[in-house]
Structure 1
C-alpha cells in the first residue's frame, strides 16, 4: 500500500528519484534515546527518498521568510516491520530530515500519510522544528469511497500552487479531510483556511471525546454497585450526546 499512496501523488518524472536512506540518519539525528535507536534499527525494513518537490521539478515557487523555508519538500517512504511503532518512527523521521517532509509509512497491507509543518527555531535561524504531527488514517487494500476520494485528491497537479508552503498545507488539508471522512463517511475538502482550522479543532475534540466515552463504558462494565452504574449510565448518555455534536461539526 505504500506504493499506492506514493503513486496517488502522480509526480512528474522530473521530481522522482530512488535513493536509499540509511537508518543511521534517523538514529543519529531524530532519535532521543536508546529506545528510539533500537526502534529505528529493528523496526524499519526499508527507508527510501522517492521525490524532491521544488521549483525546478514541479514548477511551484519556493517560499522562504523569517518563519519558514519551503524551498524543497522531500517525499520519503518508510516500510516498517511487523509490530513496529509506526507513529514513533514517523516522528523520528520528521525530526531527522531537515526538509519539510511528506512521509508515507506502512507495509504491504496498509500505509498512512504523515506530515509535520516546520518553522524556523526562534534563536537558530538555520534550525527547523515541527509545529505538530499530522497523520492520516491508514489506507488499506479494501478501498471504500472515502479512501478513493482521498487518493484522487492527492494528485500534485491539483494541489494549491501559489508556493510550496501552500502546496504542503493542501496535503495537510487532505489528510485531515480523510480523518474526518473516517468518522462521517464522506470525504470533503475545506473551502477556506478558517474551515480547515475549525475542522482541525473538531478532530482533536472528537478524538478526546471518543476516548472519554470508551473510558466511561469500561468503568460501567466493571462497576458492581447499582447506584454507581446508574450514575455512569447518565454520564455515558451525556458523553455520547457531546460526541454526536462534535461529529456533526466534521460533516
Structure 2
C-alpha cells in the first residue's frame, strides 16, 4: 500500500490536482505550535505535499455555509505526509490538520505503513475568521486486505454524497469509521448517516474499553490463588463478556 494508491482511489478530476510541496518552515511559522511540536515538525517530517484542492468549480459540488455561522467549507484539501522512522505519527497528523483552514484528508506514510486521517473543522468562537478542529481526529491504517480494498473503493469522490463539500467530507468520515468497525465485525458497511456514524464511534470506544478490561481481568484470574477471589473474578469476566457482546452488536 502507498499514498499514491489512496490518491488514485479518490478518483479526483485533473482540475483538482495541485502537487505542491509545503515547506516545513511555512508550517512552523503559521502553526503557532509549542516548542516541542515545532521540533516534531522539523525533525520528524520528511516531506508534506498538497496533493489536491477540491473546489466547487472543479467538481460541481457546492460549498457549505452553516446557517448559524459555525462552519464554512469552501473547499476540501488532500495532503500527503511522509514521516521519518520513530516519529509519533498521531501527534504530527493532528498538527497538520490544525494548521490548515479547510478540512483535510491526510495520507501519511511512515516506512511501510500508510494511514488516512480526517478532522472536522469549525469556526473558532474566540478568533474571527479562524477554524479549529471540531472533536477528535479520526484515523485508520490502510493495508492490502480485502476489507481495506473495499475501503479504498468506497473513498471514491463519485460515491460520496454530492449535496455539498461538507457532505463529501462526512462521507469520507463514514468510510473511515466503517473500516474500523469492519476490523471487529469482518464486514465493511458504510452507515449512510452522521447519526449512525457517531453511534458506531461510541460503540467502538466502548468495545475497546471492555476488551482492555476483559484482558486485565483474565490476567488477574490466572495469577489468583485464592478460590473465593477466583470465583468473583470469573463472575466479573462473564459480565464483561456479555457487555462486550452488546457493544459489538451496536457496530
Structure-1-length-normalised TM-score: 0.90
**Once structures 1 and 2 are overlaid, which stretch shifts more, 187-196 or 25-34?**
25-34
Alignment correspondent of 1:121: 124
1:1-251 aligned within 5 A: 1-30=2-31, 32-65=33-66, 66-140=69-143, 143-223=144-224, 225-250=226-251
Contact 2:80 2:107 in 1 (8 A): yes
**Once structures 1 and 2 are overlaid, which stretch shifts more, 65-74 or 103-112?**
103-112
| Helix, strand or coil at the partner of 1:212 | helix
Q: CA deviation at 1:224?
A: 5.2
Number of residue equivalences? 248
| Helix, strand or coil at the partner of 1:98 | coil
Structure 2: gaps of 5 or more residues: none
Q: CA deviation at 1:22?
A: 1.5
**Once structures 1 and 2 are overlaid, which stretch shifts more, 31-40 or 72-81?**
31-40
Contact 2:105 2:118 in 1 (8 A): yes
Structure 1: gaps of 5 or more residues: none
| Helix, strand or coil at the partner of 1:124 | coil
1:135, 1:81 → 2: CA distance? 21
CA RMSD of aligned residues (A): 1.9
Structure-2-length-normalised TM-score: 0.90
Q: CA deviation at 1:225?
A: 4.6
1:133, 1:159 → 2: CA distance? 22
2:36, 2:216 → 1: CA distance? 29
1:223, 1:42 → 2: CA distance? 47
| Helix, strand or coil at the partner of 1:188 | coil
Q: CA deviation at 1:108?
A: 4.6
Q: CA deviation at 1:222?
A: 4.9
Q: CA deviation at 1:197?
A: 2.6
| Helix, strand or coil at the partner of 1:137 | strand
